[in-house]
Amino acid sequence: MGALRPPAGRRPQGAALTRLTQGALVAALYLALTMATSFMSFSLIQLRLAEALTALPALFPSAIMGVFAGCLLANFLNPASLGLIDSLAGSAVTLVAAWLTWRLASPWRRQLAGEERGDRSVSRLDRARRLLVPLLPPVLLNALVVGTYLPFLIRPGQVNPGLILGTMGAIFVSQSLVVLGLGLPLLSALRKTPWARRVYLTEFHDGEGRDL
């Protein structure tokens, strides 16, 4: 464990390259998953499996730009392109949601760092809350923002409040299924890996929150 705790004020050598590599890998995975399931990734009622990766910023700051770049590329390469509005607005939502996920997951990462040092004082309810709250931004923001503008791009001239609400609800359900059903187990599987431990043990190496 000691090898994962760099001296105060110093970053591990090659940290920038590691973060760049991680971000590029996340972007590539997002793009590949979206394009491989394009038949259900770009419609009014969509199930974008790549959105499971939006849970990763809870552990890895490198994933913030990773999911943003992956979403931007996927939207640009959409076989039935919906134009710049979807490419830019949808990707911007992903970027903001990823940043919020990272910020909101700070108590969870602090908890993980404490558990590495033997602290088991956090209740099971608090553990669940600290893990689930950071996963809300990609669900809620996509439902509210993407669900509002998507009907205007896919069915122009046929938009009404019912269609907008229905689209918002469909995206809320699909995002919840993917982010909680796939992203949550992914976080649980990765939280004890050396890459994840290096992040939160460095962030809270002195017991105080500090941005990387």
CATH number assigned to the domain comprising residue 154 = 1.10.1760
**102: Cβ contacts below 8 Å, ≥ 6 apart:** 57, 58, 61, 64, 134
Q: Which two tokens stand for residue 153?
A: 């791009």
Q: How many domains is the chain partitioned into structurally?
A: 1
| Confidence class for position 206, pLDDT limits 50, 70, 90 | low
Q: pLDDT > 90: what percent of the chain?
A: 58
- Domain extent at residue 182: 2-203
- d(CA 53, CA 30) in angstroms, rounded, equals 7
**Residue 211, in any domain of the structure:** no
Q: Please work out, in degrees rounded to the nearest 5, the angle formed at the alpha carbon of residue 46 by the alpha carbons of 29 and 99.
A: 50
**Residue written as token pair 């996509």:** 142
CB 62 within 8 A of CB 32: no
| Confidence class for position 10, pLDDT limits 50, 70, 90 | very low
Q: Which two tokens stand for residue 175?
A: 């995002």
| Confidence class for position 127, pLDDT limits 50, 70, 90 | confident
